[in-house]
Amino acid sequence: MEQKRSSFSGKIGFVLAAAGSAVGLGNIWRFPYLAAKYGGGIFLLVYIILTVTFGFALMVAEIAIGRKTGLSAIGAYKKLDKRFSFLGYLTALVPMIILPYYCVIGGWVTKYLAVYVTGQGMQAVQDTFFQNFISQPVEPIVWLCIYIGVTALIVFFGVESGVEKASKFMMPVLVILSICVAVYSVTRPGAWEGVKYYLIPDFSRFSPMTVLVAMGQMFYSLSLAMGIMVTYGSYMKKDCDLEQSVTQIELFDTGIAFVAGLMVVPAVFAFSGGDQSALNAGAGLMFVTLPKVFADAGTLGLIAGGVFFLMVLFAALTSSVSLMETVVSIFCDKFHWSRKKTCLLVLIGCLLIALPSSLGHGIWSNIQILGKNFLDFFDFISNSVLMPIVALITCIFVGFVIKPQAIEEEVLLSSKFRRRGLFRVVIKYIAPICIVLILISSVLDAMHIITI
C-alpha cells in the first residue's frame, strides 16, 4: 500500500494520470452537444468562468485532502472529521451511477470504430443510421458487453503498464487529430455561422439552466465531486506543485473540450443546411455530425474517421477504467473481497444497471422518468443532482469545519498559492450559495414546477 501511495514519479506523471481520467467522453461527446443545445458562446463563457473559479477551488481542495490524509474518499473524510464519513459514501455513489451508462456510450463508440474499420463509414452518413442502431434491442447490448468486458479486463490485470504507456502515446495523437478535424470542419462552406454561434456569447440565450448544465458538465469533465481527485491526491508527492498541477489539468481538459466543440458545432451548421433544430439533436450529435465531416473529406476522411473513433475509444477507456477501479476498490476495502471476485461482481452489476440505459433508446423508450429516458435520467441524477450536493457539502466541510487554512497549509508545502484569496472566497461563500440556488432551480425544473 505504502508503495502504491507514492506511485506518481513526479508532477508530469500526476498531471498525465489526472488528465487521463478527466479527458474522456465528457470532452468529446458530451461537451459539444451541450454547448450546441445551451446557447453556444454563452455556454462556453459560463463554462470557462466556472472552471477557473469553482473548478479550481474544488480540485485544489480535493487533491489537498487526498494528499494530506493519504487516503481515498471514504477514509479521507472520516479521518478529517468522523461526523463527515457519510460524505465519503455519498461521493462513492457517484461513480457507481456514472459507470454503467458511460459503458453504454463506450459501446456505441466501439460500434462506430468497427463500422469505419470494416470500410462502411459511408453508411454512417445517413441521418437515420445512428437512431436505427441505438434503438435496436440486441446489437447495442452486444457492443456494451464488449466494452464493459475490455474495461473489466484492464482493471483486473492492473492499469500500470498497458494503459499508462498507451495513453502517453495516444493522448498526443488525439490532440493533433482533433485539431486537424476541427480545422477541416471550420473551413467547410457554411460553417462560419457555426463558429460565430460557438464563440460569440449571445446573452439573450442565458438562463439558469445554462449555469446548471455548465456546472454539471464541469464536475463531470474534471472528474470532480466523485472522489477520484481525492484518491489521486493521495498518490501525490508532497513536493509536487499542487496549484500548478491543477492549472495544467484544467488547461488540458478544457482545451480538448473546446476543440471538440469546434469539430462538431460548425459542422452542424455546414451539414444541416442552416436547419438550426439540428443543434438540439443532443446526445447523438457526435455520432451523427462527425461521420458527415469524414465522408465529405473522401477516402482520407474515412481513414481519419477510423483513427478518430479509435482515439475516442481510448480516451473513454482510460476514463471508464478509472471509474471501475474506484468502484472495485471501494467494495474490496469495504467487504474484504478478493479483487477477482469483486471485478466479476462489479462487471455483472454494471451490466444489469446498464441494460435500461441501452434499451431506453428503443423498446423501452416509452418509459420515461421525469420526462427523460434512462440514460439521460442517470446522467441528470449524477451530474445535476448528486455531484452538486457532494460539491456543496465538500465546500461547507472545507470552508467551515476543517477551515480553508487546513487546505492552504497543504498547498503551501509545495506552491506559492497565488490564487489563495480566490480559493478562500469561492469555497466559503460563492460556491455554496450558487450551488444551492442552482440545485433548487434544477429540482423544481425537473418536477415541472417551473420551467427554466
Cβ proximity to ligand PHE: between 24 and 399 the closer is 24
Is residue 221 close enough to count as binding ligand PHE by CB under 6 A?
A: yes
What is the full DSSP assignment across 31-77?
HHHHHHHTTTHHHHHHHHHHIIIIIHHHHHHHHHHHHHHTS-HHHHH
Q: Is 366 helix (H, G, I), strand (E, B) or coil?
A: coil
Which 177-206 residues touch ligand PHE, going by CB under 6 A? none
Task: Tell me the C-alpha distance between 65 and 407, whole Å.
Answer: 7
Q: Which one of 8, 11, 19, 26 is in contact with ligand PHE (CB under 6 A)?
A: 26
Sign of the CA dihedral with 173 first, then 174, 179, and 183 last: positive
Give the closest residue to 331 by CA, choosing from 317, 318, 344: 344
Question: What are the grid coordinates assigned to 332, written together?
Answer: 474490496
- Cβ-contact 113, 313 below 8 angstroms: yes
Binding mask 83-102 for ligand PHE (x = CB under 6 A): ------------x--x----
Is residue 21 close enough to count as binding ligand PHE by CB under 6 A?
A: yes
Is residue 351 close enough to count as binding ligand PHE by CB under 6 A?
A: no
- Cβ-contact 60, 243 below 8 angstroms: yes
Q: Exposed, middle or buried: residue 448 (CB in 10 Å: 0-12, 13-18, 19+)?
A: exposed
- Cβ-contact 25, 105 below 8 angstroms: yes
Phi, psi of 39 (to 5 degrees): 105, 5
Which one of 17-25, 111-119, 173-181, 400-408 is the stretch in contact with ligand PHE (CB under 6 A)?
A: 17-25
Which one of 21-29, 182-190, 378-386, 391-399 is the stretch in contact with ligand PHE (CB under 6 A)?
A: 21-29
Q: Which one of 17, 19, 24, 431 is in contact with ligand PHE (CB under 6 A)?
A: 24
Which one of 50-58, 207-215, 221-229, 342-350 is the stretch in contact with ligand PHE (CB under 6 A)?
A: 221-229
Is residue 59 close enough to count as binding ligand PHE by CB under 6 A?
A: no
Which one of 78-86, 319-327, 362-370, 419-427 is the stretch in contact with ligand PHE (CB under 6 A)?
A: 319-327
369 strand-pairing partners? 372
Cβ proximity to ligand PHE: between 379 and 410 the closer is 379
| 24 Cβ neighbours under 8 A, 6+ residues apart | 315, 316, 318, 319, 320
| 384 Cβ neighbours under 8 A, 6+ residues apart | 212, 213, 216, 442, 446
- Minimum Å distance from CB 24 to ligand PHE? 3
- Minimum Å distance from CB 26 to ligand PHE? 2
Is residue 226 close enough to count as binding ligand PHE by CB under 6 A?
A: yes
Cβ proximity to ligand PHE: between 105 and 211 the closer is 105
Is residue 321 close enough to count as binding ligand PHE by CB under 6 A?
A: no
Which one of 132-140, 223-231, 291-299, 389-397 is the stretch in contact with ligand PHE (CB under 6 A)?
A: 223-231
Which one of 19-27, 269-277, 414-422, 444-452 is the stretch in contact with ligand PHE (CB under 6 A)?
A: 19-27
Is residue 217 close enough to count as binding ligand PHE by CB under 6 A?
A: no
Is residue 22 close enough to count as binding ligand PHE by CB under 6 A?
A: yes
Residue at shortest CB range from ligand PHE: 26
Cβ proximity to ligand PHE: between 226 and 350 the closer is 226
Cα three-residue angle 255-24-299, rounded to 5 degrees? 85
Cα-based distances in Å from 60 to 56, 96, 169:
6, 24, 27
Residues in contact with ligand PHE, counted by CB under 6 A, come to a total of: 16
Is residue 27 close enough to count as binding ligand PHE by CB under 6 A?
A: yes
Give the closest residue to 316 by CA, choosing from 144, 181, 125, 94: 144
Task: Tell me the C-alpha distance between 254 and 263, whole Å.
Answer: 14
Binding site for ligand PHE (CB under 6 A): 21-22, 24-27, 95, 98, 220-221, 223, 226, 228, 319, 322-323
